[in-house]
Structure 1
Amino acid sequence: MSSLPLRTMPRPALMVALMASAAPLAFAQDAISPTQLPPVTVTGTSTPSLTVPTTDEAEQRIQRTPGGVELVPDTAFKNGTANTIRDVLGWVPGVVTQPKSNIDNRVSIRGSGLTRNYGNRGVNLYMDGIPINTSDGLFDVFEIDPGAYRYVEVYKGANALRYGANALGGAVNFVTPTGHDASRFDGRLDTGSFGFLKGQASTGGTSGAFDYFANVSAQREDGYRDHSDGHMERGSVNLGYRFSPDAETRFYLNANSWRQRLPGELTKSAALNAPTSADSEFVRQDQQRNIDSIRLANKTTLRFDDTDVEFGVFNHRRHVDHPIYRYLDYTVNDYGGFVSATDDRTLAGFRNRLVVGANVLNGTMDYEEFNNPGGAVKGALVFSTRDKAENYSAYAENSFFVVPEVAVIAGVQFLHAVRDRTDRFLSDGDQSGRRTYDLWSPKVGVLWDVDPNWQLFANVSRSAEVPTFDSNSFATPASSAVNAQTATTYEIGTRGRRPDVTWDLALYRSNIRNELQCVATSPYSTCSVRNADKTVHQGVELGLGVAVLKALAAQDDRTWLNLTYTYSDFFFDGATYHGNSLPGVPPHSVRAELLYKHPSGFYAGPSVDWMPKAFHADNANTLKADPYSLLNLKIGFDQGSGVSGYLEGRNLLDKRYISSTITAETATAASALFNPGYGRAVHAGMRFTW
């Protein structure tokens, strides 16, 4: 079966590893036997990195996971507006990316952290395999620069054990190019509605044993809503040195600066009737989120016959200047290290693959709150703490091939975590405290290669998440007793392809104890975090790519129907709110695209975003966000190098809708819980590579 060049491949909706692709699945490429490993050779400047797998290598590796995983190549998100994390992950089923304002998005996988009204939790984010979450578990999406990556790996749920990750939502790894696969120059300029403008440039190359990649970008946006303007600058560098064919080290540097005004949430009526407006109190206080961050990391890979060893260290420092209902000013300093070994060999005639590793992620936060009388003015000090988080984990996962086509997988992780707070403002009492957590998370699964282009998988796993510092604040006995969230997940699915069809299907059920819920008590304060007793998250993740029309204008052209469908049935199963739906996420989410692609590089087609059923904004299920459908259109030209460009229209019918909510216990029509979605927008961009 022949394959098209990468730049002419289609973009199936669920199997994001095959988005923009008409080639066979990664696990079928080169027909590598499960008992025979591909050789590695070193041939000067054309040698791929030992530390960073190529896209093809990453596809082959990720398909050895007996569960829901996706690989998103850069060809899937660089041929249109690449501004937010939704532009990267929006076609991955099971991943919910709900826009707030400007670049800010809530990110939830299988219902992880779905009630957060600020920050994100429940997913472990990595950049080049190195964690970027804070040590207490939160993450920001502003550090994600979609134009900077070669590909993105998505490991749902406990399928992320490959990185030692153990959150309900799993892990997402953003991988930058190296000097071996980067263009000598890659520059693009994007512009669009609501004052959006972004410029980006990168370069890469090799010199003997050295290679390098560097990327810089800057963007600004007036914002769709009042008081939502912002701008940011981001830069990244990675430098590699190959000591020998079996040893390589790589240094990473990332620097980011973000300035963003916050418009606040609105009542449902205001969100639908005056969607560009801002909350008047947010405007009066000039609420903002301003972050500067810098990250330095090193990763080294050594190869010994059948065993690869990887280890590294990192430091990530952030300063947050955050005037909201109070003026928050704090510095976060996270640091740690990791080591893992992968042994792949034949034992008594059977292939066996063993992965073992250990991670350390520690950090401190010097935190202060001041009064904000208005206009983002730092008033009197009212709260001051020094927080320290420690996380020590060890994990192992073994894949034993009982026959060449069937692997039985078993794994386990142990986590020891500490959350320690020292109160430095004692006039309102001593709010110091300390909690420790010791958590075991086992996993078993099976993976069957039915044929070179078709897999079946199943697994049972446990996950655990330790509360963040805004959960256990130690201010009261109740706020000092928030427990770790644990879940047992059952999953079964299949993925594969035929010449003109790709599919990816997973069904799962997670039985959760002590789900961490972030419940709003006032629109002008942070939420209150509590455990929600017993809950259930179950659903279906479906993706399909079908060549519905062929040879319309050329022998090798295709018109692809790409579909992503996510069904989320999340509900309370304990005594409180028993049987009620969990708020914050729609039960059905559909994205569909009909895309024509010509061998010359021309592509065009419409797409729709459809939420066919309302979802609740509160635990009592009294207030809903209404269904909606959006019409989009994209046209462009891309031959993989030289000049390319696109024109893209979103929400062309200017539909008024709600894109995300924050969560309340019981809501009324006067509850300000809603973020309106963007109105009609048009974006265009040009790119030049050589």
Structure 2
Amino acid sequence: MKSSAPVLSRHLNHLDHPTCIAIGVTLLMASLAQAQTPPEAPEPEGGALAPVVITGSGSADHRWRGSATVDVVDGSELRSGQLQINLSEGLARVPGLVIRNRENYAQDLQVSIRGFGARSTFGVRGVRLFVDGIPASAPDGSGQAANFPLGSADRIEVVRGPFAALYGASSGGAILAYTQDGTRPGELRVGSALGANGLWRLSTQATGQTGTAEAPGWSYTLDVGKFATDGARPQSAADRTSANVKLSRAHDGGRTVILFNQQRSFALDPQGLSRAQFDADETQTAPQPLQYNTRKSVSQAQTGVAWDQSLGNGHKIELMGYAGQRRVIQFQSIPPVPNQVPAGSSGGVIDLDRDYWGFNARWKLQREWQGGRLDVSAGLAGDRQTDTRRGYENFVGTTLGVLGALRRDETNQATTLDPYVQAAWARADWTLEGGLRRARARFDSTDLFLSNGDQSGGTTYEAWLPVVGARWQVSPQVQAFASVGRGLETPTLNEAAYGPGGNSGFNTALNAARSTQAEIGLRGRNDAGLWNATVFDIRTRDEIVSAGTSNGRASFTNGGTTRRQGLELSAEYGLGPVIMTTAYTFLRATYGSGTAAIPASSTMPGLPRHQLFAQLAWAPAATAGIGGVFTLEARHTGKVFVNDTNTDAAAGHTLLAFGARFEQTTGAWTWREFVRIDNLTDKKHVGSVIVNDAFRPFEPGPGRALSAGIELTRRF
């Protein structure tokens, strides 16, 4: 690790004493790990639904051979001792990833990777999401994490760094979920969980395989569930039902996979609090959400089919297609006067109908060449969304929070069509790889509500996205890796809908942000655990930033240049029945040139400079056939600015949690139970912030909360 010591020491100069201790523990674990002998790992698994060929995706051995930065969280880790409701429950151990539960199911989670996506006030932007290869992100870069099927997840991969750009535009990072395949013997799981504030979950998963062991038929996975909560604050109740079906069947030299997903949800929207409101009582809700009964309902259904076939001599083709529909109705708290008086106002109710579809087709070649393995792939990916968007007033007469007169009627379309190619040559001591994607996104808006003038418009964003990387085997236990590449982040259709000041018409002056990022690091593994240390630098021009809100319309502009420099450390080390897991992120994200509204050198909002996760797990020997695991967690989040001008910030905080889970097996039956206490010290804190909200940017985090659950599994 001598080569990275000067860089690490410079970063350590900015850290407080407790954080330095945590990093020291991580590095000590890494040095202990380095003394062990690495185990043999399995060959990487193929997958017809992998969204694009990324060396490093798949099994641990595949990631070990590549230069991409990929963390994998196993499905059992996501579920063990957790409520299995939010993706944020199990991904805190991934460095470089900020994922916060807003405690507001009308706005989804707050997700960013190395700063990409931090500006999002709802949903996910700047980070691509996939479930079994099907995008959970729309072509315009907006996405939702709510439809990740945690109950049947086999694993979740988090891709960071330059290679994430190969997933297309708005891919500052990528989160990929893969569900379980049905196996023999089959398995049936029935689970329930209870939590604070009236929260409950019921779910069922069934996996299996038709036919016989000698002549297997279709493998199947079924996952259905429902959850509801009264909410931590007034006006925050929510419920959600979901169903996921996966069918797969192997054929001679290939595989066919069929997917179906459906989800329905309803959530009241408590919105945020002002500084004065949060300081006075973080459990309250501001008057406006109550007056307007702010709420959101969502229904979505989609299906996908994938097929791959070996052609012999190392050649293979893979085809994937999907289609779906999404419906959203949302009541906002925009006041009638003065915001809905102007002729160009879009009202206070959003009514969105979205039809979407896409495909991915590629050719792959794998063969031995020049003493190593050569992997080459080339393909074409395309996606299209068509949004029928209507806006209505949120009042009738003096009655607020009801559907009023039509104020907006337009059709928005976003279309992408991206060719890509990637090649990697790997042998025991070296890997050289590179990729190139031509990202092209076309946005069009057709105005059908012409009484206030024609607001139609459109624009095209496009760029070449090259990336190269290398891995060097320093020793049997240690590798060095590095990569560099370019990325493109388009605004979403929402962000391009209005010009500065909320002026009518599609904002064709809003440019896509263009970035260049590089990383270099060391990683190691052994019988006892694994570790990673990465330094990265990201430079962006035409960063997309808020231009303010006028008449209820949020508009965006380009905010000059930004620079994000960071350090990621992670380690997992086992010593007998004790396992220590740590993940630390240092991120300095600042504006460079700035604008008239954003001072140069100000910190980008929504991003903590320090983030630390540490977990100590103890698994004593089973007693009377009952096994148990006891965990103690610490999660530290540094100060987070709420706006570009850095006039206010959420204070840093450290939260502690205790968990215990147990397991008993009798014949074909297995019982699992858990109990967990979050925020052990009942610390008052801001869970997340609504970036650049001028009035109520603080979203309170929950106090001390007890949760418990039980699951029954039977093999058949």
TM bucket, shorter chain: 0.7 to 0.9
| Matched residue, 1:390 | 415
1:315 aligns with 2:323: yes
Q: CA–CA distance in 1 between the matches of 2:531 and 2:268? A: 41
Aligned-partner Cα distance in 2 for 1:516–1:618: 13
Name the counterpart of 1:6: none
Asked whether 1:158 is paired with 2:162, we answer: yes
Structure 1: give runs of 5+ residues left out of the alignment. Answer: 1-11, 17-21, 41-47, 551-556
Is residue 255 of structure 2 the alignment partner of residue 248 of structure 1?
yes
Match of 1:204 in 2: 207
Pairing 1:395-544 to 2, within 5 Å after superposition: 395-401=420-426, 404-473=428-497, 475-476=503-504, 479-518=507-546, 521=549, 525=552, 527-544=554-571
Residues 1:682 and 2:706 aligned together? yes
Query: Equivalents in 2 of 1:545, 1:633: separation in Å?
Result: 19
Give 1:331 shift.
0.5
SS of the equivalent of 2:452 reads: coil
User: What is the aligned counterpart of 1:287 among 294, 313, 322?
Assistant: 294
Post-superposition shift, 1:270?
Answer: 1.7
Write the distance in 1 (CA, Å) between the matches of 2:69 and 2:255: 31
CA distance in 1: counterparts of 2:74 and 2:547, whole angstroms: 36
Deviations 1:270-310 (A, max 9, x none): 22431121121111111111100001100111123313321
Conserved in 2, the CA contact under 8 Å of 1:84 and 1:145? no
1:605 aligns to what SS in structure 2?
strand
State whether structure 2 residue 396 is matched by structure 1 residue 377.
no
Q: 1:8: which partner in 2?
A: none
Deviation at 1:580, TM superposition (A): 0.8
Task: Classify the secondary structure of the residue corresponding to 1:479.
Answer: coil
Which whole-Å CA distance do the structure 2 matches of 1:581 and 1:102 have between them? 26
Name the CA shift for 1:126/1:290 in 2 (closer, same or farther; >3 Å). Answer: same
The match for 2:271 is: 264
Cα displacement string for residues 249-290 of structure 1 (whole angstroms, at most 9, x for unaligned residues) = 111000000100000111123224311211211111111111
Change (3 A) 1:338 1:513: same
Which is further off, 651-660 or 137-146? 137-146
Matched residues in 1 for 2:363 and 2:504: separation? 44
Cα gap change, 1:56/1:603 in structure 2, threshold over 3 Å: closer, same or farther? farther
Offset at residue 519 of structure 1 (A): 5.5
CA distance in 1, matches of 2:324, 2:546: 26
What does residue 75 of structure 2 align with? 74
Q: Which of 235, 239, 242 matches 1:231?
A: 239
Q: Which amino acid aligns with 1:541?
A: E
Aligned pairs for 1:46-57 (under 5 A) are none
Task: Note if contact 1:165-1:171 (Cα within 8 Å) is conserved in structure 2.
Answer: no
Which residue of structure 2 lines up, in the alignment, with residue 649 of structure 1? 677
Summarize the Cα distance change of 1:334–1:157 in structure 2 as closer, same or farther, 3 Å threshold: farther
TM-score by length of 2: 0.85
**8 Å Cα contact 1:406-1:449 kept in structure 2:** yes
* 2:177 paired with 1:189: no
Deviations 1:477-521 (A, max 9, x none): 793211111100010112222343421121111100111224553
Q: Within 2, Cα distance between the matches of 1:570 and 1:526?
A: 27
Distance 1:161 1:605 in 2: 36
1:7 is aligned to: none
- Aligned to 1:223, the other structure's residue is in SS state coil
Counterpart CA distance in 1 for 2:709 and 2:185 is 20
SS in 1 for 2:40: helix
Query: 1:626-653 CA distances to partner (integer Å, 9 max, x unpaired)?
Result: 1211121001114697111110000121
- Give the secondary-structure state (helix, strand or coil) at the position aligned to 1:30: coil
Cα distance in 1, alignment partners of residues 419 and 38 from structure 2:
32
The AA in structure 2 aligned to 1:100 is: R
Contact 2:149 2:223 in 1 (8 A): no
Deviations 1:81-124 (A, max 9, x none): 22211013221111101221245311111111211112220011
SS in 2 for 1:377: coil
Match of residue 352 from structure 1 = 374
Change (3 A) 1:66 1:378: same
Alpha carbons 2:161, 2:518 under 8 Å: kept: no
CA separation of 1:118 and 1:136: change in aligned 2, threshold 3 A: same
What is the DSSP-based 3-state SS (H/G/I as helix, E as strand, rest coil) of the residue aligned with 2:125?
Answer: coil
Q: How many residues align?
A: 643
* Paired letter, 2:124: N
Aligned-residue offset at 1:449: 3.0
Describe the shift of the 1:131–1:380 C-alpha distance in structure 2 as closer, same or farther (beyond 3 A).
same
2:143 is equivalent to residue 139 of structure 1 = yes
Find the partner of 1:607 among 633, 641, 644: 633
Equivalence for 2:340: none
Q: Residue type matched to 1:621 in 2?
A: N
SS of the residue corresponding to residue 83 of structure 1 reads coil
Answer whether contact 1:519 1:663 (CA < 8 A) is retained. Answer: no
Q: 1:579 aligns with which of 601, 604, 607?
A: 601
Identity %: 25
Written as runs of structure 1 = structure 2, the 5 A alignment for 1:652-667 is 652-664=680-692
The range that moved more, 629-638 or 96-105, is 96-105
Aligned counterparts of 1:303 and 1:442: Cα–Cα separation in 2 = 28
Corresponding residue for residue 554 of structure 1: none
Q: What does the per-residue CA deviation read over 1:441-464, in whole Å, with 9 as the maximum and x for residues that have no partner?
A: 111110123344432210011111
SS in structure 1 at match of 2:143: coil
Q: How far is 1:404 from its partner?
A: 3.4
- 8 Å Cα contact 2:471/2:480 also seen in 1: yes
How far did residue 52 of structure 1 move? 8.0
Question: CA 1:559–1:360 in structure 2 vs 1: closer, same or farther (change >3 Å)?
Answer: same
SS in 1 for 2:163: helix
| Aligned residue number for residue 177 of structure 1 | 180
Contact 2:360–2:380 at 8 Å: present in 1 too?
Answer: yes
Q: What is the distance in 1 between the residues matched to 2:199 and 2:90? A: 18
Match of 2:16 in 1: none
Q: Which amino acid aligns with 1:358?
A: L
Q: Pick from 5, 30, 44: which aligns with 2:40?
A: 30
How far the C-alpha of 1:50 sits from its partner, in A, is 7.0
Give SS of 2:142's match: coil
Report the CA distance between 1:358 and its aligned residue. Answer: 1.4
Q: 1:110 aligns with which of 104, 108, 114?
A: 114
Deviations along 1:228-258, whole A, 9 cap, x unmatched? 00000000001122232x1211110000001
Partner of residue 58, structure 1: 59
CA distance in 1 between partners of 2:453 and 2:650 (Å):
41
CA contact (8 A) 1:517 1:531 kept: yes
Can you list the C-alpha shifts for 1:362-415, whole angstroms capped at 9, x where unaligned?
Answer: 1100000000025531100011110111100111111123x5310111211101
Q: 1:200 to 1:56 in 2, by over 3 A?
A: farther
